[in-house]
C-alpha cells in the first residue's frame, strides 16, 4: 500500500509541474502576440513617409513616370486632345500640383496630350451650316472638354458672320469653304464659309389659315414654314373663341418667301380660373435664312407641352397661348434655349 501511495504522489507532482509549464508557455505566447500587435499598430499610425510632388508638366510621360516612381507616387492617367501635334505624349496638367507634400503611395492625376483631335480639314461643301455647327459641337464635346482641347481654345471654329449669296441651292447650304478640304491642321483653325441664301425673290403659296383654331393654325405654320405674325382681339358675337378670323396676304395667294403673314385671332369664350390667354413676344435677330425655332410650355405640374416648331428667319416672334398661371415658356433656336419667361399674371 505504501508503494502505491508513493507512485500516486509522483504522478500528481509530475502532472502539476507540466501544467505549470503549459500555462507559462501560453502566457508567453499571448504576451509575444500582444507585443507584435502593438508594434504593427504604432507602425500603421506613423503612416507612410511624406514626400514632395515633383513638377512633371511639359515632360514626356515616361520621364514623368520615372520621377513619380522615385517618390513612391502612383500615376492616374487621363488623355486629352490639345492644340498641337508637337506636344503629343507630354503632360499637360497634374494634380496635386508640384511642391505639395503628400504621403508616399498617393495617386497623382496626369493629363496626357493625345495631340490634335483631327489632322485635316473635312469637306463641308454641300452640307448645311446648321449641320456643320452641330457636328463641331458634338465632336469637341465628346473629348470631355467644352472646347475639345486644353487651354479653352477650340481646334476648329467658325468665322461669323458668314458670307451669303443667292443661288439655286437651298438656303443654308455651304457653297465655298476656306481652308480647302484636305488641308493639314497643326493648330487652331478658323473655317470661313460662303452660304446660300436660296433663290432671290422665290414665290410661295400662302396657306389658308382663316377659320382654323389657333392650335391647327400653329401646326400648319410649322408644316409650311411661312413667316408670320399674330395679333389678338376680343371675341365678337357669333364668333368662336381662339380662332383665326383674318389673314393678310389671303390664303392660296402667292407671295415672296420672306413675306410675313399677318394673322388675327380671337380670345377664348371663357378663360378658366387660374389660366391666362395672352401673346408671347420675343424680338429675334434677323437671319439670312430660316432657322429651326421651338416654343415649349413647362406647366406647374411638370408636364412639357410643345406650342410650335417652325423654321423662322427672324424678327418679332409672336405666338398666342392659353396656359395655367406659373407656366414657364421656353424658346429654343437650333435646340438651344435662348429665352424663357413665366406666366405670372392675367392680362
**pLDDT by residue (tens digit) across 150-197?**
455 677 889 888 888 888 888 889 999 999 999 988 778 899 999 998
Mean pLDDT (the chain, rounded) = 85
Predicted pLDDT of residue 48? 60
Among candidates 174, 176, 135, which has minimal Cα distance to 156? 135
Tell me what percent of the residues of the chain surpass a pLDDT of 90.
49
Instruction: Give the model confidence (pLDDT) of 195-227 as tens digits.
Output: 998 877 667 889 999 999 999 999 999 998 888
Cβ-count burial of 304 within 10 angstroms (0-12 exposed, 13-18 middle, 19+ buried)? Answer: exposed
Q: Is the pLDDT of residue 148 over 70?
A: no
Q: What global pTM score does this model have?
A: 0.53
- On the question of pLDDT at 133 being above 90, the answer is no
Other Cβ atoms less than 10 A from the Cβ of 218: the count is 25
Q: Where are the beta strands (DSSP E) in the chain?
A: 50-52, 74-80, 91-95, 101-103, 107-113, 156-158, 163-165, 174-178, 189-196, 203-205, 228-233, 244-248, 254-256, 261-266, 275-284, 291-298, 304-312, 315-324, 328-333, 336-342
pLDDT value, residue 300: 95
- Which of 23-37, 237-251, 275-289, 294-308 comes out lowest in average pLDDT? 23-37
Q: Can you give the pLDDT at residue 197? A: 83
Number of H helices, E strands in the chain: 4, 20
Is 149 within 8 Å of 117 (Cβ atoms)? yes
Q: What are the tens digits of pLDDT across the range 84-107?
A: 666 788 999 999 999 899 988 899
Q: How many CB atoms lie within 10 A of CB 59?
A: 18
Helix (H, G, I), strand (E, B) or coil at 85: coil
145 pLDDT tier (thresholds 50, 70, 90): very low
Pairwise CA distance, residues 97 & 193, whole Å: 42
255-294: b (≥16 Cβ within 10 Å) or e = bebbbebebebbbeeeeeeebbbbebeeebeebbbbbebb
The rounded distance, in Å, linking the Cα atoms of 143 and 47 is 38
| pLDDT 10s digits, 311-344 | 898 899 999 999 999 999 999 998 899 999 999 8
Amino acid at each position: 500500500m505504501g508503494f502505491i501511495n508513493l507512485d500516486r504522489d509522483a504522478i500528481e507532482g509530475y502532472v502539476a509541474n507540466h501544467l505549470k509549464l503549459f500555462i507559462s508557455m501560453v502566457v508567453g505566447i499571448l504576451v509575444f502576440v500582444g507585443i507584435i500587435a502593438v508594434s504593427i499598430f504604432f507602425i500603421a499610425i506613423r503612416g507612410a513617409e511624406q514626400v514632395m510632388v515633383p513638377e512633371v508638366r511639359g515632360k514626356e510621360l515616361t520621364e514623368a513616370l520615372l520621377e513619380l516612381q522615385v517618390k513612391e507616387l502612383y500615376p492616374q492617367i487621363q488623355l486629352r486632345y490639345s492644340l498641337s501635334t508637337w506636344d503629343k505624349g507630354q503632360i499637360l496638367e497634374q494634380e496635386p500640383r508640384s511642391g505639395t507634400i503628400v504621403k508616399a503611395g498617393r495617386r497623382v492625376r496626369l493629363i496626357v496630350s493625345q495631340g490634335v483631335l483631327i489632322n485635316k480639314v473635312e469637306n463641308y461643301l454641300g452640307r448645311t451650316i446648321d449641320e456643320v455647327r452641330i457636328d463641331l459641337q458634338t465632336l469637341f464635346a465628346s473629348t470631355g472638354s467644352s472646347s475639345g482641347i486644353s487651354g479653352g481654345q477650340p481646334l476648329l471654329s467658325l468665322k461669323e458672320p458668314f458670307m451669303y449669296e443667292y443661288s439655286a441651292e437651298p438656303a443654308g447650304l455651304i457653297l465655298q469653304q476656306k481652308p480647302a478640304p484636305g488641308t493639314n491642321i497643326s493648330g487652331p483653325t478658323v473655317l470661313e464659309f460662303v452660304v446660300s441664301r436660296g433663290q432671290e425673290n422665290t414665290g410661295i403659296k400662302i396657306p389658308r389659315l382663316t377659320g382654323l383654331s389657333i392650335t391647327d393654325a400653329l401646326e400648319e405654320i410649322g408644316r409650311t414654314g411661312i413667316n408670320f405674325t399674330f395679333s389678338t382681339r376680343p371675341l365678337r358675337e357669333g364668333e368662336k373663341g381662339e380662332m383665326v378670323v383674318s389673314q393678310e396676304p389671303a390664303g392660296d395667294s402667292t407671295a415672296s418667301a420672306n413675306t410675313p403673314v399677318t394673322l388675327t385671332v380671337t380670345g377664348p369664350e371663357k378663360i378658366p380660373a387660374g389660366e391666362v390667354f395672352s401673346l408671347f413676344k420675343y424680338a429675334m435677330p434677323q437671319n439670312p435664312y430660316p432657322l429651326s425655332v421651338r416654343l415649349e410650355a413647362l406647366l406647374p405640374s411638370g408636364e412639357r407641352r410643345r406650342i410650335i416648331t417652325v423654321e423662322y428667319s427672324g424678327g418679332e416672334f409672336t405666338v398666342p397661348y392659353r396656359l395655367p398661371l406659373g407656366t414657364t415658356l421656353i424658346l429654343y433656336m437650333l435646340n438651344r434655349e435662348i429665352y424663357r419667361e413665366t406666366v405670372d399674371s392675367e392680362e
